Amino acid sequence: MLTNTPPSAPTNSAPDSQLAVAEALMSLLRDTTTEPRPDIQLEALTLAVSADLPVLLWGEPGIGKTAALTQLAASLDLPLTTVIASVHEPSDFSGLPIVGDDPAEQGVPMAPPDWAVRLVRAGKGLLFLDELSTAPPAVQAALLRLVLERRIGALQLPPGVRIVAAANPRSSAADGWELSPPLANRFVHLQWTHDHEVVVRGLAGTWPRATLPRLDPEKLPEAVDFARRAVCGLLSARPTLVHRLPTTETRRGGPWPSPRSWDMTLNLIAFATAAGSSREVLSLLVRGTVGDGPGLELLASLDRMDLPDPEDLLADPANAVLPERGDLRQAALDGVVAAVRTRPDRARWDAAWALLVRALETGAPDLVVVPATTLASLRQEDWDVPAAIEHLAGVVSLSQRADRAADRVARVGAKAGR
């Protein structure tokens, strides 16, 4: 029996039309805006790149290292060339041997890869060496000359090329390796982390646009002098910090102090000073070059460089300007007392008391307790007690009573514990 079936309604389900709709949806998803937002990580990265120092970004997979490099390349107007280090052979970085017409006379030249030739033709660029921690030791050895001398085979990369690498920690890398000490010591190591607020706001359609640091031409000579005094002053006082190879394999694959890394640190301090960068940015750069321990020592010595001269304070205590920060003020007062101990006389002793009174009037009282106690112990028999001590006696006495009360509480607690 024959039946009549109605024809099916026409639909726009052709593959090309569905792909067009999908493309429209993806276009809407890509339609985002940016807003200016300070970013100390990106500022530190930009300063290191401006100083023409190789940078290594350490971070977990998927936190935006590649996106940051793309933004930096666009901001600096540099073409970005990405090379996955782990998928290349050592000869890809040392050069491929090409046999010529007469090898006995002309030798065997080492031909560079195509991406290196493109960088030379462009005259500038940002070379991004990705997945560095998954490159085997032989490839890392081949990268040494590229990172330090900017040579690939017989080809010399132009001065306009900057090098940035990225790596995952060994615990999260695919078949990861620790970096060899010679390669690690050639990089400025920056820990790359994500900001929860930035990610949420970006997924909502507004990503940050970092403001890149600007070097002040008028500050260049001052910045160089400051950097040299900072590094040379520390290494003169701490000669064992000049070269200190870490004892563990993991720490050898990170930042550690050597003459090479101290030279990099000097450059970074000069660039950060000329750009007026914050202490947070400078801390990332210094600790990322010579390691946390030496880096923190250097940062502490930078604070002491900003302290006023004790002799200037003693010369005019009534108009002395003391640091606002508590630890720096304490150091300045200790320096004054040490200066009086080195060259004691009645006038200097009185001036130090006057300075302690000024510190009491302009800052936290507890900061004058230790300097006042030490200064009192320097009194000689023929020196009269200055009137300034009356202003400080109450503070010192109160502090001593508080210390004794704290000791009693501690002793009672210890007995109760037994």
pLDDT digits (tens, 9 = 90+) for 168-211: 886 665 566 788 899 999 999 999 988 888 888 888 888 877 67
Cβ contact 370:338 at 8 Å: no
Give the pLDDT confidence score for residue 380 in this predicted structure. Answer: 85
Digit-coded pLDDT (tens) for 219-269:
999 999 999 999 998 898 889 999 999 988 888 999 999 999 999 999 999
The Cα–Cα gap between 275 and 3 comes to 85
Give the pLDDT confidence score for residue 398 in this predicted structure. Answer: 44
Top pLDDT among 241 and 412 is at: 241
Digit-coded pLDDT (tens) for 352-371:
888 888 888 887 777 888 88
Q: How far apart are the first and last CA of the chain?
A: 104
Picking from 142, 151, 144, the residue whose alpha carbon sits closest to that of residue 183 is 144
The Cα–Cα gap between 111 and 90 comes to 13
Top pLDDT among 390 and 53 is at: 53
Q: What is the mean pLDDT of the chain?
A: 83
User: Mind giving me the DSSP string for 122-169?
Assistant: HSEEEEEEE-GGGS-HHHHHHHHHHHHH-EETTEEPPTEEEEEEEE--
Q: Does the pLDDT value for residue 45 go beyond 80?
A: yes
What is the mean pLDDT of the segment spanning 333-350?
88
Share of the chain above pLDDT 90, in %: 32
Give the pLDDT confidence score for residue 272 in this predicted structure. Answer: 95
> Which pTM does this prediction carry?
0.73
Give the pLDDT confidence score for residue 152 in this predicted structure. Answer: 87
Q: Does the pLDDT value for residue 401 go beyond 50?
A: no
- Of 84-98, 229-243, 261-275, 305-319, which one has max mean pLDDT? 261-275
Q: Does the pLDDT value for residue 12 go beyond 60?
A: no
Top pLDDT among 97 and 406 is at: 97
> At CB < 8 A and 24+ separation, what contacts does 67-75 make?
68/41, 68/42, 68/192, 69/126, 69/128, 69/164, 69/166, 71/42, 71/209, 71/210, 72/42, 72/45, 72/46, 72/126, 72/164, 73/126, 75/46, 75/210, 75/212
Q: What is the CA radius of gyration of the chain?
A: 31
Q: Does the pLDDT value for residue 397 go beyond 60?
A: no
Q: Does the pLDDT value for residue 375 go beyond 70?
A: yes
